[in-house]
């Protein structure tokens, strides 16, 4: 156990990605951030806390860290100040679900720039509790962008996810609606935009957390499918590119960050074992869960993409206008959501999405047709045996491009 733990400790997310790091923040960003008063929601999370650190490094005048999780704020305070005394008014305990409370805070702080990182992000949990996604991801974003405009902020940046492209999950639906709400608030005196990226390696609750725990405790490594791929970034890369993209924000566009090529999860497991100097672990195939995709994508057919002056960022705009009075429609659905069947609520929300013929959320199916069960366990066990045999007989000293089948 000690040997495994020591080897695992040397495996950083950057090493695991096995590619050149994305360039650091350029001087134009430093000029933009310097001297400004900035507020970060979800500041106790992995991306939010890194945003706080990088913004302070960019010589922001003040950075206000807002989160509803007091333990997360305590951890951030320890890293920033060396103590958790909470004697700094810039540590704010608040919930983006509380629209009036958020408005009072924004009026008091009067931020020049707002980075909105607060969100529910775990796909399987939101499939079980989609109304929680509605409250935080959708209504929380509505409250935050409205408060930023009311407080005369110069810029509001919403942090989104690649799961918002061709959404097939409650997470994707709620984050796509959040992007649409931000776009609806354009041209109201505050520059607004959303920034979309993929999985952040090393963030709390990420694949690397599970991988490290399972290997350290001599458990099989669980992956959903032998061929599943994801886009990955490190925490500093994601936060840095969010700040870079904020220079481009204008009229509600969504910006998509360059994350390199998608990576097979099984390849990450192999790299991890090799870098840690440990035997290749046993892999257990669990099957894709409801709402999960085999391969993520960054755009969908309902969107137009164009390059920006930043070579690592693309701009995305909708081909068609959002539904009229989108925010009002969402608010009505939210008011009716209490005590209702969550699947029906998700169905109503998904109907507000731009449907280009490729967006087919499972909630649009009748309940009896919704895919609840994973593929047969017999098929999963067969895939599992084939994959483990393949990994055992492949030269562990060579990093292959990915699992190609036995």
Residues marked as catalytic: 163
Cα separation, 304 vs 312, whole angstroms? 17
Other CB atoms within 10 A of residue 224 CB: 16
List residues bridging with 299 in a β-sheet.
Answer: none
CA angle 136, 123, 125 (to 5 degrees): 75
Number of other CB atoms surrounding residue 149 within 10 Å: 17
Report d(CA 373, CA 289) in Å as an integer: 8
Token pair belonging to 88: 């700094």
Contacts of 394 (CB under 8 A, 6+ apart): 270, 400
Q: What is the C-alpha to C-alpha distance for residues 39 and 60, in angstroms, rounded to an integer? A: 10
Asked if 29 contacts 247 with a C-beta cutoff of 8 angstroms, the reply is yes
Taking phi first (over 0 means left), then psi (-120 to 50 degrees means alpha), and beta for anything else, what does residue 325 get?
Answer: left
Among candidates 164, 171, 165, 161, which has minimal Cα distance to 126?
171
Structure token pair of residue 104? 């009072």
* CA torsion through residues 83, 84, 89, 91, sign: positive
Bridge partner residues of 264 (DSSP): 229
Tokens at 353, concatenated: 């999405």
């Amino acid at each position: 156990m000690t040997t495994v733990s020591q080897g695992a400790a040397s495996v950083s997310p950057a090493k695991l990605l096995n590619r050149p790091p994305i360039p650091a923040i350029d001087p134009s960003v430093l000029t933009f951030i310097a001297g400004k008063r900035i507020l970060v929601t979800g500041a106790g999370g992995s991306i939010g806390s890194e945003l706080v650190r990088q913004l302070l490094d960019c010589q922001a005048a003040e950075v206000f860290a807002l989160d509803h999780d007091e333990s997360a704020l305590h951890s951030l305070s320890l890293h920033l100040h060396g103590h958790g005394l909470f004697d700094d008014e810039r540590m704010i305990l608040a919930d983006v679900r509380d629209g009036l409370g958020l408005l009072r805070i924004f009026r008091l702080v009067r931020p020049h720039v707002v980075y909105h990182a607060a969100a529910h992000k775990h796909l399987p949990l939101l499939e079980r509790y989609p109304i929680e996604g509605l409250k935080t991801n959708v209504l929380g974003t509505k409250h935050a962008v409205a408060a930023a405009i009311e407080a005369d902020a110069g810029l509001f940046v919403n942090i989104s996810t690649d799961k918002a492209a061709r959404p097939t999950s409650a997470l994707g639906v709620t984050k796509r609606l959040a992007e649409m709400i931000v776009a609806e608030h354009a041209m109201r005196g505050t520059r607004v935009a959303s920034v979309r990226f993929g999985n952040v390696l090393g963030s709390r609750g990420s694949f690397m957390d599970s991988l490290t725990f399972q290997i350290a405790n001599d458990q099989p490594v669980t992956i959903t499918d032998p061929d599943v791929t994801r886009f990955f970034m490190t925490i500093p890369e994601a936060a840095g590119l969010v700040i870079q993209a904020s220079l481009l924000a204008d009229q509600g566009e969504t910006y998509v960050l360059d994350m390199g090529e998608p990576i097979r999860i099984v390849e990450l497991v192999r790299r991890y074992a090799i870098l840690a100097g440990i035997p290749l672990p046993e892999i257990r195939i669990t099957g894709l869960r409801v709402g999960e995709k085999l391969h993520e994508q960054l755009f969908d057919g309902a969107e137009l993409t164009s390059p920006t002056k930043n070579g690592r960022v693309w701009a995305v705009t909708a081909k068609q206008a959002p539904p009229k009075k989108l925010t009002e429609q969402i608010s009505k659905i939210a008011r009716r959501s209490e005590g209702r069947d969550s699947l029906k609520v998700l169905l109503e929300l998904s109907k507000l999405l731009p449907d280009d013929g490729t967006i087919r959320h499972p909630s649009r199916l009748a309940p009896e047709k919704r895919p609840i069960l994973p593929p047969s366990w017999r098929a999963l066990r067969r895939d599992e045996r084939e994959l483990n045999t393949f990994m055992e007989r492949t030269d562990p000293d060579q990093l292959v491009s990915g699992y190609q089948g036995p």
